[in-house]
Chain A
Amino acid sequence: MNRRLPKKDVVIVGLGWTGSILAHELCLAGLDVVALERGPWRDTATDFNIGTAPDELRYAVRQDIFLRPAQETLTIRNKLDQEALPIRKWGSFLPGNGVGGAGVHWNGQTWRFLPEDFTLKSHLTQRYGEGFLPENHMIQDWGITYQELEPYYDRFEKIAGISGKAGNLNGQTQEGGNPFEGPRSAEYPTPPMMQGYSQQLFTDSAKRRNLHPFPRPSGNLSTAYTNPFGMRMAPCSYCGFCEWFGCANYSKSSPQTCVLPALMRMPNFSVRTLAEVTKINLTPDGKHATGVTYVDAQGDEIEQPADLVLVCAFALFNVRLLLLSGIGQPYDPATGEGVVGKNYAYQSSGSATAYFGEDVRINPFAAAGSLGVALDDYNGDNFDHAPHGFVGGASITCAHTNGRPINFRPVPPGTPRWGSAWKKATKETYNHVATVGAQGSVMSYRDSYLDLDPTYKDRLGRPLMRMTFDFKPNEEKMTAFMADRCEELARDMGARQIVKSHSRSPYNIVPYQTTHNTGGAVMGSDPKTSVLNRYCQSWDVPNVFVSGASAFPQNAGYNPTGTVGALCCMMVDAIRDQYLRNPGQPLVRT
């Protein structure tokens, strides 16, 4: 059955972090807003009851709150000449599903990117020369600066209540914070979390090496906090059930704890769950969106007209919706023409797992998703890359996200995979292991991109999206360097045995790595090389805005959520204060 509903001012595709913030602010501005969310409703009281929320089998092993491949999946290949095959069980990354999106199950690590990250191409070219940049790179500037984004980082941190310690307040270096960060206009809304014993060892080790450790900025709150929407949060209880779980304790920043209850009170807001948007509809000339079409749980196809379409799904699915809707020219790696799908990037990593003696008791069960001490001495361009022959960097962290009973079973190399020797090693190792990890940048490359798969289709008959991605020599070299730094730090911490690893080609989609998929609908200052302008407004269809890490021209050595939130808050202001005065018009003229 096909139906056409009355027009709304705004339709939002996906009710996660950015969808909920945009909805809240635009409802306050008086607009009539509907959000369409393909997954189910989720709220703390109903879905994340303390009696059932920390269920590792249900949530971590059986992936209860994640997208099912039957709903949507991707095909994947490493190289252009391979045939891509569908992902039939999520592994390397785990897209969220339902109200709150990935903001429900994240760890809560909330970073600002470095000032140079936003002008990376110009900066690297100026400092090292064009020839220093990796082969086939597509590195771009973002079209905005850190200074312009700073008030919006601040806004998002206040919405989420982030716990941390400033390292640079208005240009003044602050003791205990990250001295490499861009100038902040304000301290974090809440003080840093308490740290564990391995963080103390790491801090001592880093200081002995004249590095600059600081507590990682955290969306697991150190104290009770009330955000600008009146939402009240409780201090983290360090239970260690953050990543892959909903927080039962009102302690982890999420749409559920920070936005949705306030949003749902608004009479001019409504949400339809189990409603999958299949297409953004355009006028015949393709220059204006008329709304969206979605399929509901009964399989009925419904048209929801709207004046403004905000695409707020997960990064990968934003890109697919643009491709399926014919918004913007699809990228073609053969010619280098087109923009939609280009500059897909991911996150690289290097690490040193440190095994200690019995006298070092870590207590990994007292943990939190964002607990950890980090250092940025090797991130971005905070160190001279000239001798190293690679670009990019990583934040190096000794973290402590969990000591959960099923999956946290570290054993030294050489241990049998089962049986009494494995049990013995598990028991002997559990409380005496820590990891120093580097979370690294990934540059954009000519042959790392997203397009529609020529073969495989989803349950609705639409082509799946195809991912072409591999780790390049630049990232292999960079993460090998970082693994060495991690090893040095771990050795200084007193480890008896250290196991190093780092990102290598071929990229493997099976083991979990990180859900930091970026790019594909990138922002910039030139419509020839970007999909979106500086306000994340489509160059081609000005009443479509696209929110999320899909806008990143390449990925930095940090988790993306802080920057995604800041871009969203910037979009709020741009829509409310500029776009609505002259709706349907581009905010940047070309």
Chain B
Amino acid sequence: MSEKPSSILFAPGKRRGALRRVLLGGALMLGICQADAAPDNFTSIERGRVLTTAGDCTGCHTTVNGQSMAGGLALETPFGRIVTPNITPDDETGIGRWSEAEFTRAMQFGIRRDGAHLYPAFPYPNYTRVTRQDISDIYAYLRTVPPATNVVDRDTLPFPFNIRAAMAGWNLLFFTPGEFRPEAGRSEVYNRGAYLVEGLGHCGTCHTPRNLLGADSTRQTFEGGNLLSWFAPNITGDTRRGIGGWSVQEIVEYLKTGRNARSAASGPMAEVVMDSTSRMNEADLTAIATYLKERGAPNGTAAPAPAPAPLAASDASMRAGMAIYTDTCMACHTGGGGGIDLIFPRLAGSALVQQDDPTTLLRIVISGAQSAATDLAPTGPAMPALGWRLSDRQVADVLTFIRNSWGNAAPAVTEDQSRRMRATVAPQ
């Protein structure tokens, strides 16, 4: 006998995976203090719940079968393994004894209750933009989560990264504290979107490439980042590789339902959609979409980066790729790469397909993926794993073909890239 099978399709709230292993170093809080939620602060608590959802706190602070916000999730970072803390109001193992001021200091400055530095895997460089009021409400909400006794080892990083004091230097180089300031001359909706994207939403944590010390590469904001075998795609106004061609409505639909006519969320973004954006209100999603569309480009489209010339159809890799595509992919994605609206993603003109970095494509073809399932779009269709029947060469060829057909243009995928991805996703 088994209760609800733990298929990711059917237990969206309990799906924990790649995203949590992905963040880049940092730690959170352990604490001791008592501050009872006042009985009449429903509004504050409810605002806090909404904000906690927008921040996808559960994404890192809840494990697959763990209690909500009880921490214990191991994040594999380039610097070592970090285990997320318990942020339930448990006195001994959670943040039950933290005062609001102590919580606020952690959010704004990355300093935990005992005065030690947190690592920026906890995205305080983003949370510092959050208003004092919103932090207060999040604190109020977290006081209402059922306390869980869960002891977490907070010191798992190896030397020298285990020296938390070193983060003071990191902060000097990369951290600019301070609340969000609305941009003059921009709409209220735009500024709300900017506040969410740059603050609680911490979108750049995945979508902005990182430098060697794990800080955002600010000159490449939102141009896409590679995180442990997934490539979080470009979400700038670039029309070919980014979302410059998407309408505000299409972005909202994607965040709300997990898919639109152009694409479907899978991998870590599927988790973000299921845990966070599908549970956000339409106004905030519209604000996010508006900001992403308008930032740095008043007309909503950045000057497109010059597209590379597509590989010639006569190229040997293209010819082999076309044959594989016909046998293996065409039944769903269709002969012209148009896919089937809202179920089988369109490949022709797809930004994801044309990222310079083919990591996500390699991963999906070799080990498969299931797209987000939400209340509005519960199907959660899956792409089957094909690694068991395609060789490294064949994976590279079929990807090279879809990246250079139907108007697409992107660098060819190499056999070596396939081989490395296969090794990465192979069961340990």
Docked CA distance A242–B134 (Å): 54
Instruction: Give the top 7 A-B pairs by smallest Cβ distance, nearest first.
Output: A45-B382, A296-B1, A264-B10, A49-B384, A262-B378, A41-B5, A261-B378
Q: Is the CB of B7 within 8 A of A45?
A: yes
Set of chain B residues within 8 Å of A265, measured between Cβ atoms: 10, 12, 373, 375, 378
Q: Is the CB of A234 within 8 A of B2?
A: no
A249, A264, A274, A300: the one contacting B9 at CB < 8 Å is A264
Of A58-66, A222-230, A375-383, A418-426, the one with at least 4 CB within 8 A of chain B: A222-230
Q: Is the CB of B12 within 8 A of A230?
A: no
Contact A51 B1, CB 8 Å, known A234-B332, A237-B331, A250-B343:
no
Set of chain A residues within 8 Å of B373, measured between Cβ atoms: 261, 265
Set of chain A residues within 8 Å of B375, measured between Cβ atoms: 230, 265
Of B35-43, B147-155, B385-393, the one with at least 4 CB within 8 A of chain A: B385-393
Q: Is the CB of A275 within 8 A of B1?
A: yes
Docked CA distance A45–B383 (Å): 8
Most buried by A among B1, B341, B376: B1
From residue 281 to 308 of chain B, which have CB atoms closer than 8 A to chain A? none
Docked CA distance A229–B377 (Å): 9
Most buried by B among A45, A224, A297: A45
A44, A234, A235, A264: the one contacting B382 at CB < 8 Å is A44
A582 lies within 8 A of chain B by Cβ: no
Set of chain A residues within 8 Å of B370, measured between Cβ atoms: 45
Report the minimal beta-carbon distance from B13 to chain A, rounded to whole angstroms.
9
Set of chain B residues within 8 Å of A224, measured between Cβ atoms: 340-343
In the complex formed, the residue of B with least CB distance to A257 is B379
Report the minimal beta-carbon distance from B68 to chain A, rounded to whole angstroms.
14
From residue 358 to 378 of chain B, which have CB atoms closer than 8 A to chain A? 368, 370, 373, 375-378
Contact A272 B1, CB 8 Å, known A43-B10, A232-B342, A239-B331:
yes
List 25 A–B pairs whose Cβ atoms lie within 8 Å, in order of A's numbering.
Answer: A41-B5, A43-B9, A45-B370, A45-B382, A46-B7, A49-B382, A49-B385, A50-B384, A51-B388, A51-B389, A224-B343, A230-B376, A233-B343, A234-B343, A237-B332, A249-B331, A257-B379, A260-B10, A261-B9, A264-B9, A265-B12, A270-B3, A272-B2, A274-B1, A297-B1
In the complex formed, the residue of B with least CB distance to A271 is B4
Set of chain A residues within 8 Å of B177, measured between Cβ atoms: none
Report the minimal beta-carbon distance from B137 to chain A, rounded to whole angstroms.
25
A231 lies within 8 A of chain B by Cβ: yes
Set of chain A residues within 8 Å of B5, measured between Cβ atoms: 41, 43, 273
Set of chain B residues within 8 Å of A82, measured between Cβ atoms: none
Docked CA distance A248–B343 (Å): 13
Report the minimal beta-carbon distance from B2 to chain A, rounded to whole angstroms.
6
B340, B380, B384, B385: the one contacting A234 at CB < 8 Å is B340
A298 lies within 8 A of chain B by Cβ: yes
Contact A298 B1, CB 8 Å, known A261-B10, A265-B373:
yes
Docked CA distance A535–B370 (Å): 40
Report the minimal beta-carbon distance from B385 to chain A, rounded to whole angstroms.
7
Set of chain A residues within 8 Å of B389, measured between Cβ atoms: 51
Q: Mark A46-80, 1 if CB is under 8 A from B, else 0.
A: 10011100000000000000000000000000000
Task: Report which A residues bind B (CB closer than 8 A).
Answer: 41, 43-46, 49-51, 224, 226, 229-235, 237, 239, 248-250, 257, 260-262, 264-265, 270-275, 296-298, 300, 302
Q: Is the CB of A232 within 8 A of B10?
A: no
Set of chain B residues within 8 Å of A275, measured between Cβ atoms: 1
Set of chain B residues within 8 Å of A235, measured between Cβ atoms: 340
Contact A41 B340, CB 8 Å, known A50-B331, A261-B373, A264-B9:
no
B344 lies within 8 A of chain A by Cβ: yes
Contact A232 B377, CB 8 Å, known A46-B7, A224-B341:
yes
Set of chain A residues within 8 Å of B378, measured between Cβ atoms: 229-231, 261-262, 265
Set of chain B residues within 8 Å of A45, measured between Cβ atoms: 7, 9, 370, 380-382, 384
Count of residues in B whose CB is under 8 Å from the partner chain: 33
Set of chain B residues within 8 Å of A226, measured between Cβ atoms: 342
User: 10 other contacts beyond A271-B4, A273-B2, with CB at 8 A cut-off?
Assistant: A41-B2, A43-B5, A51-B384, A51-B388, A230-B376, A249-B331, A260-B10, A264-B10, A297-B1, A302-B1
In the complex formed, the residue of B with least CB distance to A231 is B379
From residue 209 to 263 of chain B, which have CB atoms closer than 8 A to chain A? none
Docked CA distance A234–B340 (Å): 7
Report the minimal beta-carbon distance from A570 to chain B, rounded to whole angstroms.
25
Report the minimal beta-carbon distance from A259 to chain B, rounded to whole angstroms.
10
Docked CA distance A239–B331 (Å): 9
Q: Is the CB of B2 within 8 A of A274?
A: yes
Docked CA distance A260–B4 (Å): 11
In the complex formed, the residue of A with least CB distance to B375 is A265
Set of chain A residues within 8 Å of B2, measured between Cβ atoms: 41, 272-274, 297
Docked CA distance A82–B332 (Å): 53
Set of chain A residues within 8 Å of B342, measured between Cβ atoms: 224, 226, 232
Docked CA distance A274–B1 (Å): 5
In the complex formed, the residue of B with least CB distance to A248 is B384
Set of chain A residues within 8 Å of B332, measured between Cβ atoms: 50, 234, 237, 249
Report the minimal beta-carbon distance from A365 to chain B, rounded to whole angstroms.
13
Docked CA distance A237–B328 (Å): 13
Q: Is the CB of B379 within 8 A of A261?
A: yes
Docked CA distance A83–B11 (Å): 50
B340, B377, B386: the one contacting A51 at CB < 8 Å is B386
Set of chain B residues within 8 Å of A232, measured between Cβ atoms: 342-343, 377, 379, 381
Report the minimal beta-carbon distance from B12 to chain A, rounded to whole angstroms.
7
In the complex formed, the residue of B with least CB distance to A262 is B378
Docked CA distance A302–B1 (Å): 11
